[in-house]
Structure 1
C-alpha cells in the first residue's frame, strides 16, 4: 500500500527558495509598498523574501515581514558611514549566508560597494532595479549621480518601473519593465467606505477633499501643493487637504501651513495602514513631484476612480486612465487650482479598478511572473561557490 501523502514532510523536503532584497529600509514609501504588494501575493511556499537594509531602527513593515516568514538583516553603515567597514560587513554577511542565489537590489546608492561584494561572493543573479527618473539637486544628488553609473556595472539583470526610470538609470542599456502593480480590487471605489472614512475623520459629506500620499521629502514638492490649496480655497468653499505620510520635511510643511493660515484646511494624517480606504474619501489626488519614475500612489489613486493631477516631472506612463492630468510646475498656482477645482464635476468612479487591472497593473499576474523568474534563476542552497560556479 502506498504511503499517505504528508504535506508537512513535502514542504520540509522542498523549502521555498529565498530571494534577498536590498534597500535602505522598509518604511511606508513607494518602493517598499510595491515590494510588499508583491510579497503578499507571491506563492510563499515556493518563494520567500528576505531583506537586507541599512537602518537599525524598527520600521513600518518589519512586523508584517516577520509574520509572513521573512527575515530582516540590518547593516550598521548608517551609524558611522565607514565605507571600508561597510564593505567588510557585507563580505562577512554574504560569506555567512550562502543560501542566496538571487539578490534583488532597489537602491543605486553605495552600489559600487554592495553590488561588487555580491558579485565577489558568487551570487549568480544580481538585479539592479530603477525606481526613479531623477535625483533633484544638491550634494546628495551629486553622490547619487556617481553611483548611478556604477549600479548596472556588476548586475546581471536590469529592471525599471517605467521607461523614464529605465532610460534615466540605465542609458543605452537593455532593461526589463516591471510595472508598479497593486492589489487592484483593494482600491476599488465603494460609496459606503467613502461615507465611513469621512465620518471617522470628521469631514463634511459636501467638503471638497484633496489628498496626497507619500514621503514628506523635498522631491515630492508638498510646499507647492500647500500654496495651491491657498488658491483653491479662494475658488471653493469647504476645501480640505489630507496629507498622508511623514518624513524630514514635516516641520517645514507645518510651518508653511501656519504661515498661510491654512490650519483649518490642511490635515496631517501621518503614516497609515488604511491608505486604500483614505483614497475613497478624496475628490482629487495631487502629486506635484519634481521628479518620479512611476509612482505607485498614482496607480492606486486611479484604481479608486479619483481624478489625479500630476506634475510633468512625473513619468507620463503614470497616466494609465483618463483620470490623469499633467500640469507643468511653472504653469502657476492659479492654473493648478482651477484645474483641480474643475474635478468637482459629478462622474462615476466605480469602473476604474478594472481599467487599471486591464492596463497590466494587477499584482496577481506580476507575482506569478516574478515567481517564475526567481525560480528559474535560483540554485539549491549552499551550492554557489565564491567564484560563482556550482560547487
Structure 2
C-alpha cells in the first residue's frame, strides 16, 4: 500500500529549511512512498526541482505578505486534502502561525509531524511585531502540542524553542540533524585550485567566506565591518559572499562605503557551493540566530576555520575549527579572534571526523524514514 506524505515548507532556493528537505527527504527512495510539497512562501521557484524528484507541488500565499489570504488558502487546501495523506510533515521556524497545523488536524489529518528548524523568528520586523509574535508563538506551542504525533528538531536548541516544556522534560521529541553529503564537501585540492583561479585569488591569500541568504538575521553588514578591520591590518585577505537576498543592495552599498570592492567577491546564487568551500580558508558568521546551521556542518567537513556568534547551536562540533565570539564584542575583538585563527589545518581528515559524529545525510534520511513508518 502506497504511503502518501505531504511536506510543508518554504521551498525557497536560499532557504536552509529547503536544503534540508531536498537533502534528507529527497533521499528517501521508497517505492511505497508518494510525496507532495506544499510551499507556504507564496513562491514556486523550487517547483521545477520538486517535479523533477517526482513530487506533486502546491502553493499558498505567504503569511508575512498577506496573513488573511494565507489562512483562507490554507483552510481551503487542508479541507480538501488533509485526509489524503498518511503523514503531514510541517517544517517550521516558529509557531506564531499555528492555524494551518490546526486546520490539518480538524480536517482529518491521520498523523502530523512537526519539525523545528530554528531558534528564533525568521520573520523580520519591529520590536512591537516581535512582542506579538512571541505571544502567538507561545499560544501556538501549547495548542499544537495537542495535535502533533511526532516532534523533530535539528538541534536541542531548536527543540526548546519550538516545543513545550512538558514535551522537553518528557523527552517526547527526537533530534534529526541536517545531514550533509560528506563526500561532496570533503576537502578537494583540485576544486580549490579551479575556483581560486576563476576568482583570480593567489594561494597565499587567506580567503574568508559567508554562505546564505542576505538578510538582517544573517548579519552580513556586520560581517563587512569585521572584515574591514582585517583589511586595515594589511593582512592578505579576501572575502567571498555566496547567496542573494533582500539586503543585497545594502551590502553592495556597504562594500562601496568601506572601499572593499577589490577585496570582496559576490557570487549570487550558485549550484556548486561545495567547490567554493574548497577555495575558502575560513568562514565568518556573525548571525543573530540559527537552528543548526547547515553551513557550519558543510564548512567543518571541508576543514575550514569557523568564527561565529556565541550562543548559536553548535551540535557535535569540532573544537579545533569552531570559535565563538559574543555579538556584543567590538569589530576589533572579532577581528582579533579571526586573525588568531588564520591557519590552515590538514583539511583532508575532517570529512571522516564528521562522519563519525553522525552528520552523514544518509543516516538522517534513514532516521526520518523510520519516523514516517512509525504507527503505520
- TM-score, normalised to structure 2's length? 0.89
Q: Does 1:167 align with 2:160?
A: yes
Give yes or no for contact 2:10–2:17 (8 Å, CA) kept in 1.
no
Q: Which residue of 2 aligns with 1:71?
A: 56
Give distance in 1, aligned partners of 2:307 and 2:62. Answer: 38
Give distance in 1, aligned partners of 2:271 and 2:205. Answer: 24
Give yes or no for contact 1:50–1:72 (8 Å, CA) kept in 2.
yes
Aligned residue among 56, 59, 81 for 2:66: 81
Give distance in 2, aligned partners of 1:250 and 1:40. Answer: 30
Q: Note the C-alpha offset of 1:277.
A: 0.8
Q: What SS does the aligned partner of 1:220 have?
A: coil
Structure 2 unaligned segments of length 5 or more: list them. Answer: none
Give distance in 2, aligned partners of 1:269 and 1:171. Answer: 41
Shift of the 192–220 alpha-carbon distance from structure 1 to 2, 3 Å rule, reads same
Aligned residue among 61, 76, 100 for 2:85: 100
Q: Note the C-alpha offset of 1:236.
A: 4.2
Q: Note the C-alpha offset of 1:80.
A: 6.9
Give distance in 1, aligned partners of 2:30 and 2:129. Answer: 37
Q: Note the C-alpha offset of 1:27.
A: 2.4
Q: Which residue of 1 aligns with 2:32?
A: 46
Give distance in 2, aligned partners of 1:77 and 1:194. Answer: 39
Give distance in 2, aligned partners of 1:258 and 1:94. Answer: 48
Q: Note the C-alpha offset of 1:209.
A: 0.5
Give yes or no for contact 1:43–1:371 (8 Å, CA) kept in 2.
no
Give yes or no for contact 1:292–1:313 (8 Å, CA) kept in 2.
no
Give distance in 2, aligned partners of 1:89 and 1:323. Answer: 46
Shift of the 361–335 alpha-carbon distance from structure 1 to 2, 3 Å rule, reads same
How many aligned residue pairs are there? 362
CA RMSD of aligned residues (A): 2.2
- More deviation in 31-40 or 48-57? 48-57
Q: Which residue of 1 aligns with 2:312?
A: 314
Higher gyration radius (CA):
1
Q: Which residue of 1 aligns with 2:362?
A: 364
Q: Which residue of 1 aligns with 2:281?
A: 283
Q: Which residue of 1 aligns with 2:130?
A: 141
Give yes or no for contact 1:77–1:86 (8 Å, CA) kept in 2.
yes
1:18-43, Cα deviation, whole Å (9 max, x unpaired): 32121233322211111111133222
Q: Note the C-alpha offset of 1:189.
A: 0.2
Q: What SS does the aligned partner of 2:284 have?
A: strand
Q: Which residue of 2 aligns with 1:121?
A: 107
Give distance in 2, aligned partners of 1:95 and 1:198. Answer: 53
Shift of the 346–278 alpha-carbon distance from structure 1 to 2, 3 Å rule, reads closer
Structure 1 unaligned segments of length 5 or more: list them. Answer: 1-13, 379-391
Shift of the 80–178 alpha-carbon distance from structure 1 to 2, 3 Å rule, reads closer
Shift of the 100–353 alpha-carbon distance from structure 1 to 2, 3 Å rule, reads same
Shift of the 329–89 alpha-carbon distance from structure 1 to 2, 3 Å rule, reads closer
Q: Which residue of 2 aligns with 1:32?
A: 18
Shift of the 335–68 alpha-carbon distance from structure 1 to 2, 3 Å rule, reads same
Give distance in 2, aligned partners of 1:318 and 1:262. Answer: 35
Give yes or no for contact 1:235–1:341 (8 Å, CA) kept in 2.
no
Q: Does 1:351 align with 2:337?
A: no
Give yes or no for contact 2:118–2:290 (8 Å, CA) kept in 1.
yes
Q: Note the C-alpha offset of 1:311.
A: 0.6
- TM-score, normalised to structure 1's length? 0.86
Give yes or no for contact 2:63–2:97 (8 Å, CA) kept in 1.
no
1:230-379 alignment, distance < 5 Å: 230-317=228-315, 319-378=317-376
